[in-house]
Amino acid sequence: MALIEHTKKGLYCPIAKVYIDPWGKVDNALITHGHSDHARWGHKYYVCADTSVNILKHRLGHDINIRGYAFGDGLTVNGVKFTFHPAGHITGSAQIRAEYQGEVWVATGDYKTEDDGLCTPYEVVKCDHFITECTFGLPVYRWQPQEEVFNEIRKWWSDNAAQNKTSIITAYSLGKAQRIINSVGTDIGPIYTHSAIQKMNDVYRASGIDLPPTTQMNKNSDPNQLKKALVITPSSAINTPWMKPIKNYSLGIASGWMAIRAHRKRRGADRGFILSDHCDWDGLNESIKATGANHIYPTHGNTVTFSKWLNEQGYNARPIETEYGDEVDDDGESQG
């Protein structure tokens, strides 16, 4: 019997009778992070990293039964020791380490190895079995240093502001939006946000994370102030009445998918900024090697192709079919 198994409700540890990021309703759920494909409503008891507690309460309801543990800490159930370790994906994101009788498994959830300056940086966790995402598990996906991307965003915003043109950029309401806000600053102009992002900003600030000032945009926002503003929104709000105060704009998308030009064209953007909260091809391969694990289980992404590559490199790799994926907006658009 494997320490962690794939079941119809999710990844399951039968010895401890607990699930990791289950997609079916269960009694005991260990949660890697707050994105909706990993943290679902309806479980009886939630356990997560302590920096994720407020995020999960905001998204799933303040009445959920939840407990948080500091990174490096955790709980032991029926002899299985579970600990939480930084995943570097978004604030509160964790890898979950499970150890039993000397055997160690690690479930990553989602992760990235580049320190974004906002969430706790990724930590290598040595193990025997490694369950890894591979959202961008193809060689075409290689990220440039993030500071270069933020310089591109700032220049695009500055050029638009000089023409009294609003800069609109789409990003996840949890994670990427705050990463952009934290990195571009407000020297060029004010930052306005969609209500979903502003509410998440409030959760961050209430948790002690200091973000630059932002203003929630609504139908009464002053069009003159918006002329030099950066507006950050989920893609689901584009071409809706919410945009009525904006008279002239340029649309940008911040996503790892922008590495493929066809994605930008399909979404009708003026600019695509290659910015992801996931590992690129090199990050995945380097992370897997660093764990020392021989048994690798790719999930959500190019799992079959990536598993074939890993097997060719000498690993024992087998894809696991899950319901995880890139979190999507209400319109179904994935932003990576």
Q: What is the pLDDT of residue 96?
A: 98
Domain with CATH 3.60.15.10 in the chain: 5-140+277-317
Q: What is the pLDDT of residue 264?
A: 59
Contact indicator for 44, 27 with CB cutoff of 8 Å: yes
Rounded distance, CA 192 to CA 200, Å?
13
Q: What is the pLDDT of residue 330?
A: 40
User: Distances from the Cα of 211 to the Cαs of 3, 118, 206, 255, in angstroms?
Assistant: 40, 9, 11, 21
| This model's pTM is above 0.85 | yes
Report the percentage of the chain scoring pLDDT > 90: 91
DSSP line for 93-152: -EEEEEEETTEEEEE-SS---S--SSSPPP-----SEEEEEETT-STT--PPPHHHHHHH
DSSP line for 76-96: EETTEEEEEEE--SSTT-EEE
Domain 5-140+277-317, CATH class in plain words = alpha beta
Q: What is the pLDDT of residue 324?
A: 85
pLDDT digits over 13-68, tens only? Answer: 999 999 999 999 999 999 999 999 999 999 999 999 999 999 999 999 999 999 99
Domain with CATH 3.40.50 in the chain: 146-273
Query: Would the pLDDT of 180 be above 80?
Result: yes
Q: What is the pLDDT of residue 56?
A: 98
Give the number of other Cβ atoms within 10 Å of residue 210's Cβ: 8
User: Distances from the Cα of 170 to the Cαs of 173, 207, 273, 297, in angstroms?
Assistant: 9, 24, 10, 31
Q: Which amino acid type is present at position 172?
A: Y
The pairing of strands 94-100 and 103-107 is antiparallel
Rounded distance, CA 92 to CA 51, Å?
5
Give the number of other Cβ atoms within 10 Å of residue 56's Cβ: 22
Please tell me whether residue 47 adopts helix, strand or coil conformation. Answer: strand
pLDDT digits over 223-250, tens only? Answer: 999 999 999 999 999 999 999 999 999 9
Please tell me whether residue 68 adopts helix, strand or coil conformation. Answer: strand
Q: What is the pLDDT of residue 322?
A: 86
Q: What is the pLDDT of residue 266?
A: 60
Domain 146-273 listed as CATH 3.40.50:
yes
The predicted model gives 109-130 an average pLDDT of 97
The predicted model gives 140-168 an average pLDDT of 97
**54 token code pair:** 């407020």
Q: Which of 23, 2, 16 is nearest to 299 (CA)?
A: 23
Contact indicator for 252, 269 with CB cutoff of 8 Å: yes
User: Distances from the Cα of 120 to the Cαs of 24, 75, 136, in angstroms?
Assistant: 29, 21, 21
What does pLDDT average to over the chain?
A: 94
Q: What is the pLDDT of residue 265?
A: 60
